[in-house]
Amino acid sequence: MKKISHRQICGTPRPLLLSMYAKIPTDGSLFFLLTLLLLLFASAYDVQGASHRTNGRVIRVIDGDSLQIATDEGVLEVRLYGIDAPEYDQWRAKAGKRWLRGYLLKREVEVEKISTDQYNRQLAIVYRGGEAINGAAVRKGYAWVYSRYCHREICRSWKKK
């Protein structure tokens, strides 16, 4: 089989960079190798598990699992990671919101950001005095562990015994 040169196909000489690396594979193996390296780098960096902690003051309790917290960076809307609480029209929704408001409103907390949800809220574990509020809400009976989305070890300790 006769080799066709770059000049014959494009009408121009081969770019210098490509001429230096003339044996670059064109069958997709280079793409596979680069993708594999990117995935290895991302897993080593632990993008999923990276968390960020900040301190703030609770300024509003939206419902049994959502808060607004004033921090140095601004106001954060936070959804408590790994738990779910009754919605507005469900049984115990008001009781859960009332407990959370009494326990956290105008108090200093530490926020450990896990990720961001589709509504741009921070999914976070919120601590008051070293205690994870997410787990406290479950233990008090105002929320339950959302096993479908809570993949951290700490979630197992929140489940009611």
Of residues 7, 53, 87, 107, which has the active-site annotation?
Answer: 87
Q: Decide: pTM greater than 0.75.
A: no
Ramachandran category for residue 145: left, alpha or beta (phi over 0 → left; psi -120 to 50 → alpha)? beta
pLDDT at 42: 54
Mean residue pLDDT across the chain? 81
Cβ atoms of 106 and 57 closer than 8 Å: yes
Residue in 73, 137, 71 with CA at minimum distance from that of residue 104 = 137
Q: Catalytic site residue 131?
A: no
Percentage, residues of the chain above pLDDT 70: 68
The pLDDT value given to residue 92: 78
CB crowding 42-65: b at 16 or more within 10 Å, else e: eeeeeeeeeeeebebebeebebbb
Measure the CA dihedral 58/60/63/67, to 10°: -40
Residue boundaries of the structural domains of the chain: 6-45, 52-158
Rounded to 5 degrees, what are φ and ψ at 30?
-65, -45
CA dist 31 and 34 (Å) reads 5
Q: Which of 14, 53, 57, 121 is catalytic?
A: 121
Residue 82: the pLDDT is 93
Residue 5 has φ and ψ, to the nearest 5°, of -85, 160
Closest CA to 68 of 2, 124, 131, 143: 124
pLDDT given for residue 108 in this prediction: 97
The answer to whether 79 is a known catalytic residue is yes
pLDDT (0 to 100) of residue 38: 66
Q: Annotated catalytic residue: which of 7, 60, 77, 79? A: 79
Among residues 72, 81, 78, which one has the least CA distance to residue 120?
Answer: 78
Instruction: Please give the pLDDT value at position 57.
Output: 98
Contact call for residues 50 and 42 (beta carbons, < 8 A): no
107 in active site: no
Fold of 52-158: OB fold (Dihydrolipoamide Acetyltransferase, E2P) (2.40.50)
Intervals of the chain under pLDDT 70: 1-31, 33-34, 36-51, 160-161
pLDDT score for 11: 65
Helices 93-104, 133-140: axis angle to 10 degrees equals 140
Contact 149, 86 (CB under 8 A): no
